[in-house]
Every structure is written in C-alpha cells, then in structure tokens.
C-alpha cells in the first residue's frame, strides 16, 4: 500500500476546507470534498483503506473544532465502510450507478453533519445545504469519472478548440 497519494488527498481536503471552501460555495451549498474523497477511495480501494482514510479525513476536517472531531471521524469512517460494502454488492460498472452512490453518500454525510451540529432551521438547511450540496458534489464527481474513464481527454479538448 502506497501512502503518499492518501497524504496528498488529505492535504487537498485540508486546503479546500481552509482556503477554497468559500470559492466553491454556491449560496449555502458547498462542495463536500471530504465525503467525495472518502467515497471515491471506497469505490476503488479495500475495506481497511476505506475505513482508515475516512477516519483520517474526519480528523482533518474537524481540526478546527475539536469538540466535533470524533463525530466527523466516526461519520466518515462509517461512510467509507458502507460505500465499500455497497460497491461490493452492486454492479458499479455504470457511470450512473457510481454517481448515485456518490449522491447518496454525500446526502447522508450532509444530513448527519446537520444533525450533529444541531443546526437551527434544519428543514431549510436540509434543502439548501444538504440536497443542493449533494447535487453540486455529484457534478464534480461526474467530471472526475468522465476524465478517469477517458471520455474527456486532452486530445479531445484540443480538437474541440
């Protein structure tokens, strides 16, 4: 197991949380990069890697709020474990199945974070942050899958322009 890519993923999550989170926010909807990274790792790696990466991602995103660090680590670890087992039980050859897994996982993560943080106006935030943020994160995942599967390449982009 090579650990350097996972350290870079965690660094990317930390930089997104600190620097670029405000730049990728559309009204109250935020791209949920930690949940997306955990779900992508669970889609392509083993069960143990999914669990420990989810735990590490939870620790990284909650570094500024130590009272919630355990909750974030638990939620993302369970999310990684659940996504791994869903991947094992379902056929994820289809792009739509992968996107449905990402959308469902991000929605679950967003709702659980809203519950743990005991946000006021829960129903409004359920719509504006959880659902719209899940859709926004799924669009980013869609672009990732298109690039990974070779539907978008440098040669195709060069030919287009």
Q: Where are the domains of the chain?
A: 4-160
Q: What is the pLDDT along the chain (161 residues), one digit of tens a residue?
A: 589 999 999 999 999 988 988 888 888 788 999 999 999 999 999 999 999 999 999 999 999 888 999 999 999 999 999 999 999 998 888 899 999 999 999 999 999 999 998 878 888 888 888 999 999 999 999 999 999 988 888 888 888 78
Termini Cα distance of the chain: 40
Claim: this prediction has a pTM higher than 0.95: no
How many C-beta atoms surround the C-beta of residue 157 within 10 A? 9
What's the pLDDT at 2? Answer: 87
What is the predicted pLDDT for the residue at 64?
Answer: 84
CA-based nearest residue to 49, from 1, 92, 11: 1
Name, in order, each residue with C-beta under 8 angstroms of 6's C-beta and a sequence gap of 6 or more: 41, 49, 53, 56
Alpha carbon distance 60, 62 (integer Å): 6
What does the pLDDT read at residue 1? 59
CB neighbours of 37 closer than 8 A, spacing ≥ 6?
Answer: 9, 12, 13, 53, 57
How does strand 29-30 pair with strand 25-26? antiparallel
Q: How many residues does the chain have?
A: 161
Which run of H or E residues covers position 156?
Answer: helix 154-160
Question: Nearest Cα to 75, choosing from 65, 87, 86, 83?
Answer: 83
């Amino acid at each position: 197991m090579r650990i350097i890519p996972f350290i870079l993923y965690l660094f990317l999550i930390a930089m997104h949380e600190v620097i670029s989170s405000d730049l990728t926010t559309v009204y109250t909807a935020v791209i949920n990069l930690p949940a997306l990274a955990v779900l992508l790792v669970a889609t392509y790696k083993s069960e143990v890697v999914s669990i420990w990466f989810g735990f590490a991602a939870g620790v990284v995103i909650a570094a500024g709020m130590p009272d919630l660090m355990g909750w974030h680590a638990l939620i993302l670890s369970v999310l990684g474990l659940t996504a791994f087992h869903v991947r094992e039980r379902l056929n994820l050859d289809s792009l739509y199945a992968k996107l449905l897994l990402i959308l469902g996982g991000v929605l679950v993560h967003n709702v659980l974070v809203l519950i743990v943080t005991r946000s006021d106006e829960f129903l409004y935030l359920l719509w504006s942050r959880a659902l719209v943020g899940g859709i926004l994160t799924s669009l980013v995942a869609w672009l990732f899958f298109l690039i990974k599967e070779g539907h978008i390449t440098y040669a195709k982009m060069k030919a287009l322009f």
